[in-house]
Chain A
Amino acid sequence: MGLISPLGNSCEEFFSNLVAGRSGIKRISSDFVDRLSINIAAEADFAAEAYFSKKTARTLDRFSQFAVVAAAQAWLDADMQLPGDEKKRAGVYLGTGMGGARTLEDSYVQLFKQNVKRLDPLTVVMVMNNAAASYISMAHAMKGPCLTFSTACSSSAVAIGEAFRLIKHGYADVMLAGGTESLLTYGIFMSWESIGTLALEAEDPSTSCRPFSKDRTGFVLGEGAAILVLESLDRAKQRGARIYGEVVGYGSTADADHITKPSVEGQANAIAAALEEAGISPDEIDYINAHGTATVVNDIAETRAIKEIFGQRAYQIPISSTKSMHGHLLGAAGAIELVAAVLALKHQTAPPTANLTIPDPECDLDYVPGKARTGLNLKTIMSNSFAFGGTNAVLIVKKHE
């Protein structure tokens, strides 16, 4: 696994910050911050020059830069080798909401404000949503399927689920799967301000995202990337690979209801579908990484959906929303949250839901408020991603014994 995030640019740093309850949410560093009503975000501390030559950095939008670096980390972490005859059996599935958003906005500023007569010739290939996946496939000579999924906040969960199925049904043996997002631009902040789902800035800005808390006001936009190496179990065992877990279930459903409002039925269906594919009962889920955006409606809907499937057992499962600390990574959210859940499995520790200070009777499950829970006996974890547009994606990973 590999990642770039507002809580660090390595899995170890990311997880130790989560467990410590640290927040990556702070005042936006860009100079347009004072033109915004909401001044906070979860930015990644990432300088392109630390990872790329000048020439390469200029050809990659930041969203691609994140993804390429995260993929390289994951490749190394997996100690992956791909001999010539296996290259066609290896591919890349990524999720992103808005691709090269930063480059696109810079181009518009140049055209409409500065009246330039010509745009950078690489604009098209920096902005296109599939750029990140393509550069990853080039970097690792992966000649199998190379696709990019765009389903808003569930994009990368979808990408991982689809990659899992690709291997499961024999179309590939190795997949790099995950997501990337970098859209912290003036125009995009303004768009999000208008739709009214962003958290109001708390007195201590780092505590602004409060999933499941009675005083929650929404989410904080973040940026980053997370990539996982998925591999067929046979191949992994044969080469003695270190196995973090086994993806066993993926549920993909549509709310078919409203473009933004979540549907309990759609979410519950996705959870049920994932459990069914995994061939396990709800009793076997030991930890859930919630979608938990801290909007009033999502947190209630998600609580109801979990109760609908898990019944009384729902009250015994530790459930946390790590968005409270790393923010909402949109197209990369599903992937980074699955990494958090898989690391929970590795360390037998459930990260907390930060800032959950006022219980909401409508969200009365065990949301691991404030402090991480260590010394658990986690065998199977679930990660939820529910999106604008209504595409729900739920993933289940089992510890590999």
Chain B
Amino acid sequence: MTFERIKKLFLENFDLSDERLYPEATVESIGLDSLDKIEFLFVLEKEFDIKIPDREVKLNSIQDMISVIERLVAEQCAKQEQSV
């Protein structure tokens, strides 16, 4: 599910073909440069309503992104439950 949402965002924001987007695809294999990557993280943050910490987070492949997003979303939910 997360993968499908990420794939949709890639297709909406960049001129890419479907085949380039699979879980093991890396930022390089997809054809993004460093600025594209930062821009895409911003798009992910908005889509999933999370804040990706700026440093020391491994985000080289789509699978990395899925892991980080699912972790942050879970942390976010946990925090919300705590405050209630």
Contacts and interface: CB of A to CB of B under 8 A. Distances in A.
Interface in A173-203: none
A120 interface: yes
A118 B39 contact: no
Interface of B is mostly: helix
A55 B13 contact: yes
A53 B51 CA distance: 28
B35 A58 contact: no
A121 interface: yes
A117 interface: yes
Interface in B6-49: 12-15, 35, 38-39, 41-42, 45
Contacts of A258: none
- In this complex, the interface size class of chain A, counting residues with CB under 8 Å from chain B, is 10 to 19
B39 A120 contact: yes
Contacts of A58: 13, 39
Interface string B36-77: 001101100100000100000000000000000000000000
A120 B46 CA distance: 10
A122 B39 contact: yes
A54 interface: yes
B51 to A, nearest CB: 6
A117 B41 CA distance: 14
Contacts of A121: 35, 38-39, 41-42
Interface of A is mostly: loop
Given A118-B45, A118-B51, A54 B13 contact: yes
Contacts of B35: 121-122
A54 B38 CA distance: 17
Given A53-B15, A54-B15, A117 B51 contact: yes
B15 A118 contact: no
A53 B16 CA distance: 11
Nearest to A117: B51
Contacts of B14: 54-55
A134 to B, nearest CB: 13
B46 to A, nearest CB: 9
B12 A54 contact: yes
11 contacts: A54-B12, A54-B15, A55-B14, A58-B13, A117-B51, A118-B42, A118-B45, A120-B39, A120-B42, A122-B35, A122-B39
Q: Which 8 A-B pairs have the closest CB atoms?
A: A121-B38, A55-B14, A53-B15, A121-B39, A121-B42, A55-B15, A122-B39, A120-B42
Given A118-B42, A121-B39, A121-B42, 12 more contacts: A54-B12, A54-B13, A54-B14, A55-B14, A55-B15, A58-B13, A118-B45, A118-B51, A121-B35, A121-B38, A122-B35, A122-B39
